[in-house]
Each structure stands twice: as C-alpha cells, then as structure tokens.
Amino acid sequence: MVDLNLFKNRTLLQKIEMVSRISKQRPYLGMSQIGHSCHRYLWYSFRWCYTEEISARLQRLFDRGHREEPEVYKMLKSAGVDCWGDQEGITGVHGHFLGHIDGKCRGVQEDIYEEHLLEIKTMSEKNFKDINKKKLKQSKPVYFAQTQIYMKKLKLNKCLFIAVNKNDDSLYIEIINFDEGFADDLERKAEIIILSDAPPKKEYKPTWYECKWCSAKEICHKDMQVEVNCRTCTSCDILPEGKWECSKHGIPLTIEQQRVGCSHHAFLECFIKD
C-alpha cells in the first residue's frame, strides 16, 4: 500500500520518480556481470555487502529492454530465423554462478544450419554509435563476456548478437565466435570470487572513473561498514547446488534467512577493523 502522505504537494512527475525499488541482492553471481573489470566489486555484490536502490527511471530502462525481446523474436521469425529458449537458465560453479539467456536460434544467414546463442540488447544513441564503430568486444566487454560464458555452458560456437537503438529502432547485428580460452578464464574468475572468504586485492584508486559511480565505492575506498546478513558472517558456509548453511546453528539457510541474519552475526575476518 502506497503512503499517500508522501505524495502531498507533489507534481505527477515527482510522484512517479519518487517510487523507487530496493533491488534485493541476487542470490548468485550473475553471468551477465562476470565481464565487469573489477573483481572486488563482483565479490562485494555476491557477498551482499550493500543494497542498491534502483530509481524509477532506471527500472523503466531495464523494463524497456525486456519488452524489446519479443519484438526481436517476431522480427527474426519473419526473416526465417527459428528462435526458442527465452530465459533458459544456466548454472556453473557449484550452482552459485547463474545466467538466463535471451534464446537460441537457427537459420542465421551466415550459417543456416548451425544453432546460435541469441543475445538482445537495447542501447542509447551514443552506445549504439560506439558499438557500430568498435564492435562488441571493444565497445561493450561485459556483454561480450556474457555471450562467451553462455556459449561455453551451452556448448555453442556462435552467437547472434542484436542491439536495438532506443532512439530510432535501428539495428546492429554481429556474429560472435566462441573463444574457449577467454571463456575458461571467465569461469575461473567466477570460481575464485565465489569460493573466497575475502575480497580480491584492490585494483583501482578512488579517482578511477569506474570507481566514481560504483555502488561499492564507500565500502571499498572509505571503509564503510558492510550490511549485516548471513553472507557477511563468518558462520555462513557455501555449499554445492547453490546452497548455504550456518555452521554455528548447523542448519541450511534459505535465501530469505540469509537476508535477515541473526543476533549471533559475526563479521568475516576481512571486515573486522583493527
């Protein structure tokens, strides 16, 4: 139920923008994240060291991307490309490394019989021009990494990557080839992050441009206390099949239990200040 008192003397636009969502931390390390340049950021995210607030505008941008996928499916099918598998789940690293694909397809002009991964993104005019100029690997390395780890787990050799310009609906299409060595490195990176009890070594100074808008910058560079939950507690042990347990109480932990924690919380050693 919305508290209407919060909306007093507000314009309609202000009311809409006031409605923000608290993004609950993912219970897994996302395959869509693994190409991020900072290992430390990924570890903080996986260990639920902070909760990020998603603005109404940013949520609309995310939703726009999801709405575009069925339209691209229809477009491809009208061009004779068979598509299936939307949001099929993929797992790795003992069930703690997860992703959801946009789909698979067959009938791509370059090779009409070979099954391809299908990855769909929407982009601003600026990003769309950049990817046309530099291609995916250089322009959007996080997206490139996402396609590589998906192809590795699905045993596919090619990806049909499609970007839609949100300004004028122009399309960018690129066939991405599987790079086995690159994908293997990504999976090793995920395993190190997931199985570690401490964050990786700090890679950047606070003046680094990516650090300026990083959600974990206050924790990483200013020693702000991390949130209290099971993932930041020394008694929380990681198990196979995506599971966790409390060694202090000897019980398995649900996702919701992990979010709440308990009165016996004790920070991981890496969070204890001298």
**pLDDT digit string, tens, across residues 86-98:** 989 999 999 999 9
pLDDT computed for residue 3 by the predictor: 59
pTM beyond 0.85, yes or no: yes
Q: Do 54 and 66 share a structural domain?
A: yes
Structural domain count of the chain: 2
- Nearest alpha carbon to residue 174 among 143, 142, 198: 143
Sign of dihedral through CA atoms 186, 146, 61, 259? negative
pLDDT computed for residue 22 by the predictor: 63
- Distance separating the N- and C-terminal Cα atoms of the chain: 44
pLDDT computed for residue 4 by the predictor: 58
Sign of dihedral through CA atoms 121, 69, 42, 29? negative
Burial letters for 172-196: b for 16+ Cβ neighbours within 10 Å, e otherwise?
bebebebbeeebeebbebbbebbee
pLDDT computed for residue 32 by the predictor: 96
Distance (Å, rounded) from C-alpha 59 to C-alpha 15?
A: 15
Q: Do 246 and 127 share a structural domain?
A: no
pLDDT computed for residue 11 by the predictor: 82
Q: Do 147 and 40 share a structural domain?
A: yes
Flag residues of the chain having pLDDT under 70.
1-7, 18-22, 274
Q: Do 247 and 212 share a structural domain?
A: no
- Domain interval for residue 42: 22-195+205-226
Distance (Å, rounded) from C-alpha 232 to C-alpha 226?
A: 8
Longest dimension (CA), the chain: 64
